[in-house]
Structure 1
């Protein structure tokens, strides 16, 4: 089975899933010999993000600002899709912005247990950016470098803060990022990640919002890179051995 729904609607991709043939999708020709298969097609990524946006926005009190923090660079694709979806959902929260079809959508949301009162006011959205470096080639370097966070205290203190990440594997990096943010005393602190990788040496950390639960494979695409390559691949793909060798860092770990 390619995937199944787990708790909170997370889509689980099985360990033995063979993926989709590259020939079935549009993939940049310059990477055709470097990718094993498509793990998650672009359309499915976008559709799942739309639903995540609804779940995320509904978790915050109406009228309260939400600070969305993008972790550069790999989360840019997910962040762009998610914030666009958040803005669209936010418009539906305003009574004057609802059409008859949108009212039907709100009715279906209520059937999923979402409080109708949460749709009586929009939530102001603000965007911030930090850079986190912890990987070299296809493995962790063992250290975490966070840039841009020291200028954000005034922005997030006393505010609902949502950290947007592309992928969480062991959870160690995110736990260190959260420690930094908690020191700034936000009103609430949550994490949304597109991917949660089932890593054998994980810390057990679980984000608040997860798009897909995936096998322990090195994936790229949707702005997720391998030493700055593959960001322009629209789908989430698995890198083959040829690609790992071709784009490996010249630095020694």
Structure 2
């Protein structure tokens, strides 16, 4: 595995691998929508880079909205309780909605968001997750579009953080227990 010059971290997926997979996901989403409009709902903060790249890869009339939730606080272990910090700016009733998330881990956050959005009666509701960690699933939920399936590793970069750090790394890197903070 390669290392990134910044921080000496081990790279799991390079920016090139990410770009190629995001382009493929965009083509899948475009095909599935058959020219219909889309509301892309980014889950802040981690999904922001993924949403930006995915939006450029989706070839339909798309708008953005954002939600912010918390289940991790400042650490790397989930508290188990999901708290809504920022709700949607507009209703998604009758619209095609794509929740865009950086990582599908325990499933707690996406299960919560799916219920929240379904209450508004969207026309369709799909989920795109850049990373999927099925071994950590607590809530039974799957994404409709998945970038990469990974084992139980702690990853940072491309929007994903450790205590709000490393989000700006262009690659997805491994955060090892012995890495200096």
- Quickly name the TM-score band, shorter chain normalised: over 0.9
How many pairs does the alignment contain? 180
Please tell me whether the aligned partners of residues 129 and 148 of structure 1 are also in contact (alpha carbons under 8 angstroms): yes
SS in 2 for 1:38: strand
**Root-mean-square deviation over aligned CA pairs:** 1.5
Q: Secondary structure at the match of 2:168?
A: coil
8 A Cα contact 2:15 2:170, kept in partner? yes
1:136-151 matches, within 5 Å, as 136=73, 137-149=75-87, 151=89
Post-superposition offset of 1:148: 2.8
Contact map agreement 1:75 1:223 (CA 8 A) in 2: yes
Deviation string 1:68-93 (CA, Å, 9 cap, x unpaired) is: 1111110011111101111xxx2xxx
2 CA distance for matches of 1:71 and 1:205?
A: 16
SS of the aligned residue for 1:217 comes to coil
Q: Does 1:21 align with 2:2?
A: yes
Runs of 4 or more off by more than 6 Å in structure 1?
none
Asked whether 1:71 is paired with 2:43, we answer yes
Which structure has the larger Rg? 1
Write 1 or 2 for the structure with the bigger share of helix.
1
SS at match of 1:140: coil
TM-score (norm 1): 0.67
Q: Deviation string for 1:10-38 (max 9, x for gaps)?
A: xxxxxxxxxx131xxx432xx22xx3x21
TM-score by length of 2: 0.93
Instruction: Give yes or no for the alignment of 1:209 onto 2:151.
Output: no
